[in-house]
Structure 1
Amino acid sequence: MIDLDHLRGWIGRSETQSELLTHALAARFRATFDQAGPVQDGDPAPVMIHLCLAQPAVPTSELGPDGHPERGGFLPPVPLPRRMWAGGALTFHDDIRVGETVTRQSTIQDVALKEGRSGALCFVTVQHEITANGRAVLSERQDIVYRPAEAAGRAASPPPAAQGQYRMRVTPSAPLLFRYSALTFNGHRIHYDTPYVREVEHYPGLIVHGPLQATMLVQYAEKLRGRRPSQFDFRSLSPLFDDADFTLNARDEDHGLHLWTSYADGPVAMQADARW
């Protein structure tokens, strides 16, 4: 039984975290995404690097069995075992620059229950306001979904996604997933622990992070248009695993670009819209 009134007591709760964006972190981020070239203090930081900064440093002894921090701190203690990044929206105000101190103020905006095919789903909406040396650089809404264990695994697939006007193939190698987990200080075992993900959560392979897919789509949009978008909205529809390559896809729209990830013969995994 989910006590929604109790969980909604977390609405309005805030926390603030700060971290210096070092030359070394920017270089590791660029290396993870195979971006060539040196990094210098004062350079514009790679887009989406904010997801690697000011993450909670929870002691290992306080992690739950899935590698996430035990519940009931900043995020509400939702009594559902599976937690995923469902989507969000980003508004870019300015560049973060290497050598600046980045501060993220996070606030719980909403907690809501919905009924899915496998049972109750609990959605937690978090708003982040991010500054660099006191300058507003990014506003981000993050949608987190908690779901029952029965929702795990590969569900019956809808029809394959269309091929994009622009298309790029990606191999979700174990080193790539591990490096991204390390960059974001993310202990969630579904991204690096194959025996756990198969035997406990009953997925066919390691899961490609939602933030990693979103980062790749923003980078792809930036590559296609020559500059980062000012607005990026996205939603996760189905998981991607490390058992097959996937593609980044995009097509021109009146508003900018419509983008998505998918297997070559699979449904849309994440869809997004980028505007300039």
Structure 2
Amino acid sequence: MTDQIDIAHLRSWIGREEEATDVVGAELVRRFAATLDLEPASAGPGSPAPALIHLCLAPPVVPTCATGPDGHPARGGFLPPVPLPRRMWAGGAFTFHRDIRVGERVLRRSRIGEVAVKEGRTGLLCFVTVEHRISVEGELVVTERQDIVYRDAGGAPSAVPEPAPAGEVRKHVAPTPLLLFRYSALTFNGHRIHYDHPYATGVEGYPGLVVHGPMQATMLLHHAAAIGGRTPSRFSFRSLSPLFDDADFTLNAVEDGEGIRLWTAREGGPVAMSAQAWWQA
């Protein structure tokens, strides 16, 4: 099946770079905190902005006429034109060097690090790794690795995964259509699986709206920060199975050596996203 993809052509994107800038506005901080039900924080100039707010900064902006039928920008450009219909954020990792602060102008330098094709349980998969360096006036503030996966339409694993355990510290989340819409708006994410129920169910075949991977990661990171008393210095996550708006889910955490192990899951369902948080001594 790998002959469906010209991997040599796609790998020619490795090393491609782009830059984008944006300002951390006070109103964005307020909307971010309100969307995720975070404790209201000061949004005055120089105040620390919530962790992972940089995912809302400088999103790709294209005219509506230049988007594809799924709501994403048309294939090509910075990301390679992978000819597979389903695209998801499979995982990632962050190192936080210092807080991003309200009023700062942030520069994001992005680079395509790897492109690889694999045969998975559900069919053909293409992984694209993007490396981001987030800086303010030349000072590195966040280092990020983003893992994107493209896959065939349809095809579900034949094995039924085991239900996730309950964490020592749990928090319930209701993934309402309003929550999903507001997070899509914060990140300027046009992917229709997150807000267009007829499209998500009728075209892509999901049982409901899909809960954003980056939003789950953000919730897990803030769950860890609430437990640890401060933002972790490092955080990584991996998406394992989707969550939908047809059932509530939980944020779970257990202490794990020098850090905290975290995961999301719906009641009786498998682990949807696993994560790990660490703090420097």
Structure-1-length-normalised TM-score? 0.97
Give 1:28's aligned residue: 31
Report the counterpart of residue 263 of structure 1 in structure 2.
Answer: 266
Q: State the AA in 2 paired with 1:109.
A: G
Which consecutive segments of 4 or more residues in structure 1 shift more than 4 A?
none
2:22 aligned partner: 19
CA contact (8 A) 1:93 1:137 kept: yes
1:81 aligns with 2:85: yes
Note if 1:187 corresponds to 2:190: yes
Q: CA deviation at 1:155?
A: 6.7
- How far, CA to CA, are the matches of 1:133 and 1:98 in structure 2? 14
Give the corresponding residue for 1:131. Answer: 135
- SS at structure 2 position matched to 1:10: coil
What does the per-residue CA deviation read over 1:196-233, in whole Å, with 9 as the maximum and x for residues that have no partner?
00000000000000000000000000000110001101
Asked if structure 2 preserves the Cα contact closer than 8 Å seen for 1:234 and 1:272, the reply is yes
Q: Which residue identity lines up with residue 10 of structure 2 in the other structure? A: L
The worse-fitting range, judged by mean Cα deviation, of 130-139 and 95-104 is: 130-139
- 1:252 deviates by 0.4
Contact 1:157 1:266 in 2 (8 A): no
Alpha-carbon displacement from aligned partner over 1:100-159 (angstroms, at most 9, x marks no partner) = 00111000000001101222100000000001233211000000000000236x975311
Q: Give the corresponding residue for 1:222.
A: 225
Moved more, 64-73 or 26-35: 26-35
Alignment deviations for residues 3-60 of structure 1 (CA, whole Å, 9 cap, x no partner): 0000000000000000011111111111111224342111000011000001111111
- 2:114 and 2:67 map into 1 onto residues whose CA distance is 24
CA distance in 2, matches of 1:21, 1:174: 26
**CA spacing shift, 1:47–1:146, aligned 2, 3 Å:** same
For residues 122 and 30 of structure 1, the distance between their equivalents in structure 2, rounded to whole angstroms, comes to: 34
8 Å CA contact 1:121, 1:146 repeated in 2: yes
What residue is the counterpart of 2:149 in the other structure? Answer: 145
Q: Secondary structure at the match of 2:12?
A: helix
1:225-253 residue CA offsets vs partner (Å, 9 max, x unmatched)? 11000110110000000000000000001
SS at match of 2:154: helix
Q: Does structure 1 residue 254 correspond to structure 2 residue 279?
A: no
For structure 2, which runs of at least 5 residues remain unmatched after alignment? none
TM-score by length of 2: 0.96
Q: Report SS of the residue matched to 1:213.
A: helix
CA distance in 2, matches of 1:62, 1:157: 39
Distance 2:115 2:28 in 1: 33
Checking the alignment, whether the CA contact within 8 Å between 1:19 and 1:103 is kept in structure 2 is yes
User: 3-state SS of the aligned residue for 1:150?
Assistant: coil
- What's the offset of the Cα at 1:176? 0.5
CA distance in 2, matches of 1:39, 1:169: 27
Asked if 1:160 corresponds to 2:166, the answer is no
Q: Distance in 2 between matches of 1:134 and 1:26?
A: 23
Could you list the runs of 5+ residues in structure 1 that have no partner in the other structure?
Answer: none
Distance 1:201 1:34 in 2: 30
Alignment-mate amino acid for residue 97 of structure 2: H
Of the three residues 263, 275, 278, the one matched with 1:275 is: 278
The letter of the residue matching 2:86 is R
Question: How big is the alpha-carbon RMSD for the aligned residues of Structure 1 and Structure 2?
Answer: 1.2
What amino acid does structure 1 have at the position aligned with 2:126? C
Quote the Cα distance in structure 1 between the aligned partners of 2:20 and 2:138. 13
